[in-house]
Structure 1
Amino acid sequence: MAHYFSERPGTASRPGSVDLVLPDLHLRLETDSGVFSPERVDLGTRILLETVPPPPGEGDLLDLGCGYGPIALTMASRAPRATVWAVDVNRRAVELTARNARAAGLDRVRPVHADELPDGVTFRAIWSNPAIRIGKQALHDMLTRWLSRLAPGGVAYLVVQKHLGSDSLQRWLGEQGWQASREASRAAYRILKVER
């Protein structure tokens, strides 16, 4: 079975589009089968984008698990002088994010495969709707890898469904030495704020 967290989804391409409508922007985004939530902007993603404070205006920002790009493009729209790295293991998703960024004229979005992001880049902010369904250990490994690249004073915001383990994830982050707090809660989703 093909998953949206496969590097090369085996499902046949079925191009589509969705509208991301937020109080401060409206984007039409290309989607395709084999990526996360291709029929609509996922509710968790929408809650994240409607809830978190604006990203830092400059520096390097990260959308971890970019899918077709709604988070990365929102970050880039809200912080036009920042560089937004959009990473995913799914190459179809990375290409969709690249096309959507070009179509929106957001030339500071840098879509890359998760293993191709340059070493040494650290992030002032990380926004993510993480791939909870990859399994607990893989999720913990992924978060350990990317949260360690937060710059001093950097902040990560993660959206996680309550019934998919947001509270246990918050506890685990604390046990790993991160300061993890609940920033918001809405419609069975939690926004976790993670700091050093």
Structure 2
Amino acid sequence: MPEPRHYFSPDPGVASDPREVDVLLDDVTLTLTSDAGVFSHGKLDRATRILLETAPPPPPLGTLLDLGSGYGPIALTLASRSPNARVVAVDVNERAVELTRANAERNGLANVTALSPGDADDIADIAAIYSNPPIRIGKRALHELLQQWLPRLAPGGAAYLVVGKNLGADSLASWLREQGYDVLRLASRGSFRVLEVRRTESA
């Protein structure tokens, strides 16, 4: 029997089952297509909604990154809020990348670029990162992912991460501080924390 795949696999390996999702925020309204084998199929994940409702507005210019974009609710919200910024959505899941591209086109958001990690090597000087990170890839893989992307923040840039308390939000914050970052808990809602991560002056 083949080994089961996950939404954080390049090929989810399950039959397509498209479902529409409405993203309804105070300042943004989007209709997106989700699919089986992609994170949060058929709904807007609660943690993602909390991030979009509590994190600061994105910078109006520069490069914004949605790390682990899924079908694109964070990336497309950023693009709607900052139409003059370049929004880059990165996901290892090929189906997720294609969905984000299609959803951006559907919603008329030409400032969104969806990429697999291998196509994103030249992304740097990032003004802000917004992410509901894939905690279930495991602590070591998550740390490697963050070590790959956080150093690409531009001077003065920040990352905004939403993490469940029961999935290690506090231990992740401690680890980030050990890596030389300033970490602030911006919000705590239900079982989720929203963290702001910035380089220290010496980092």
Q: Secondary structure at the match of 1:158?
A: strand
**CA deviation after TM superposition for structure 1 residue 166, in Å:** 0.1
Q: Deviations over 1:69-121 (max 9, x none)?
A: 00000000000000000000001000000000000100000000011014252
After superposition, residues 160-175 of structure 1 pair within 5 angstroms as: 160-175=163-178
The alignment's TM-score, normalised by the length of structure 2, stands at 0.95
Q: Answer yes or no: is 1:96 the counterpart of 2:99.
A: yes
1:119 is aligned to 122
Q: Secondary structure at the match of 1:148?
A: helix
2:84 is aligned to 81
Distance 1:131-1:120 versus aligned 2 partners, 3 A rule: closer
Letter in 2 for 1:126: I
Letter in 2 for 1:155: A
1:188 is aligned to 191
Letter in 2 for 1:22: L
Q: In structure 2, what is the Cα distance between the partners aligned to 1:103 and 1:120?
A: 25
Q: Secondary structure at the match of 2:5?
A: coil
**71-80 vs 120-129, which deviates more?**
120-129
Letter in 2 for 1:110: T
Q: Secondary structure at the match of 1:40?
A: coil
The alignment's TM-score, normalised by the length of structure 1, stands at 0.98
1:67 is aligned to 70
1:134 is aligned to 137
Q: Answer yes or no: is 1:56 the counterpart of 2:44.
A: no
- Long gaps (5+) in structure 1: none
**CA deviation after TM superposition for structure 1 residue 137, in Å:** 0.1
2:30 is aligned to 27
Equivalent of residue 162 in structure 2, options 156, 159, 165: 159
Could you tell me the percent identity over the aligned residues? 59
Q: In structure 2, what is the Cα distance between the partners aligned to 1:122 and 1:91?
A: 25
Deviation beyond 6 Å, 4+ runs, structure 1: none
Letter in 2 for 1:145: Q
**CA deviation after TM superposition for structure 1 residue 26, in Å:** 1.2
User: What is the CA RMSD across the aligned residues, in angstroms?
Assistant: 0.7
Q: Answer yes or no: is 1:14 the counterpart of 2:29.
A: no
Q: Deviations over 1:124-175 (max 9, x none)?
A: 0000000000000000000010101100000000000000000000000000
Q: In structure 2, what is the Cα distance between the partners aligned to 1:122 and 1:158?
A: 18
Q: In structure 1, what is the Cα distance between the partners aligned to 2:14 and 2:140?
A: 26
Q: Deviations over 1:14-39 (max 9, x none)?
A: 11111111011111100100000012
Q: Secondary structure at the match of 1:139?
A: helix
- Long gaps (5+) in structure 2: none
Letter in 2 for 1:167: D
* Equivalenced residues, count: 196
Q: In structure 2, what is the Cα distance between the partners aligned to 1:152 and 1:127?
A: 16
Q: Secondary structure at the match of 1:119?
A: coil
